[in-house]
Every structure is written in C-alpha cells, then in structure tokens.
Amino acid sequence: TAFAKTETVQAAIFAWLVLGERLTGLVVAGICVGVAGVLALALGGRKLSPREIATSLVQPAALCGLGTGALFSLTGVMVKRATLHLTMPDPVAEALVTLLVVLVLQTAMLGTYVAVREPKTWGRVAATWRASGQVGLLAALGSACWFTGFATAPVALVRVVGQVEVLFTLGFSRLMLREPTKSHEVLGLLLVTAGVVLALLGALG
C-alpha cells in the first residue's frame, strides 16, 4: 500500500514523457513533501532504514504496489490525453464525456465478468440498491472531479492536490467513528498539507 502512494511522482514522470508537461521547482517540492506525508500515514508509524526500504523494493508486494501506482498514474495521463483529442469548446464538457465513456466501458466489462463468474452477486446488489446507488453516485461525482482536474491542469498537480482526500478520510474517521488520532497521522497530515500548499503556490506563482 505504501509503495502505491508513489503515484504522484510517477504521474509527474509519465505526464512529462507522454504529454510534455513541465513543473516548477516549487510544485516538484510539494509533490515530494506530499508523498512523504502519505507514506508516513501508510507505514503506520513503522520506522524503516534506507537499507530496509531498498531491500523491500524487490519484494512481490512492493512491486505490486509500485505497479498499482504506475497504473493509476497512467490512467490520469491517458484521461488527459483523451480530453485533448476532443474538439469541444469547454474542457469540463470534454472531461465529462470522457468520464461517461469510461463508466460505460467499466460497467460493461465488470457487469459481464460478474454475470459469468458470480451471477448471484447481481441479486445481492439489487437487494441493497439504495446503499449501492449512494456509493455509486458519490464515486461518479468523485470521478467527475478527478477528470475535470486532469482536463484543466497538469496531471501531477491534480494528483498532489488530490491527496487532501486523506485529510477528509482521517477527519471523518475521527468525527464519525471516534477513532483516535495517532502521532504519525498528525505528522503525515502536516506533510500532506504542506505539500499541497507548496504545489498550489508553485502553480499560481
């Protein structure tokens, strides 16, 4: 999970290679600080030496995490590239059209898989349609925000600003689930916040 959080750095690299996007030094610094904060949260307070980190990079779990981060990063880059190929006057409309196509493809592929491999799942989904519908609606709205961001700003900048989701997650867990906040979470939150602020200052400067 921790290595998957490197997606912001990977997004900057892929966006530079595929789209030619360049970032200011302040934005790059914000990305690094933000990733450090997310890693602090993901590691759960565990302390790893540089040697342990280097050794863990070749472990299957780490490779899967890095691969996950790479795929998430490439998704953002490809979404941006797809919107650039549309000729609509409004970039937000381009983002929403791209999202619609992606959702249709996802629904078709996953729906077919479930129908073939786990047909009983459809019955369980239908029985909980209210909760499922709410989750689906919120997920679609979140995706609309992501796609709009990718269409209107550099991919890596969108990714680093999007890390504020961990702030909301921990905030909701504290307020709604009464989960205590740990010291490493405070450190991670401060780093994520600092990273977002640096990235925004670099983008606006």
pLDDT given at position 98: 96
Q: Distance between CA 129 and CA 142 in Å, rounded?
A: 19
Q: Distance between CA 4 and CA 6 in Å, rounded?
A: 5
Q: Distance between CA 69 and CA 192 in Å, rounded?
A: 17
Q: Quote the domain boundaries for residue 139.
A: 3-204
pLDDT band at 37 (very low <50, low <70, confident <90, very high): confident
pLDDT band at 104 (very low <50, low <70, confident <90, very high): very high
Read off the amino acid at residue 116.
Answer: V
Contact between 150 and 11 (Cβ < 8 Å): no
pLDDT given at position 150: 93
What is the value of pTM for the model shown? 0.78
Domain count, the chain: 1
DSSP state of 59: S
CA triple 37-157-191, angle to 5 deg? 15
- Least confident segment among 49-63, 69-83, 92-106: 49-63
pLDDT digits (tens, 9 = 90+) for 156-167: 888 888 877 777
Structure tokens at 112: 């077919």
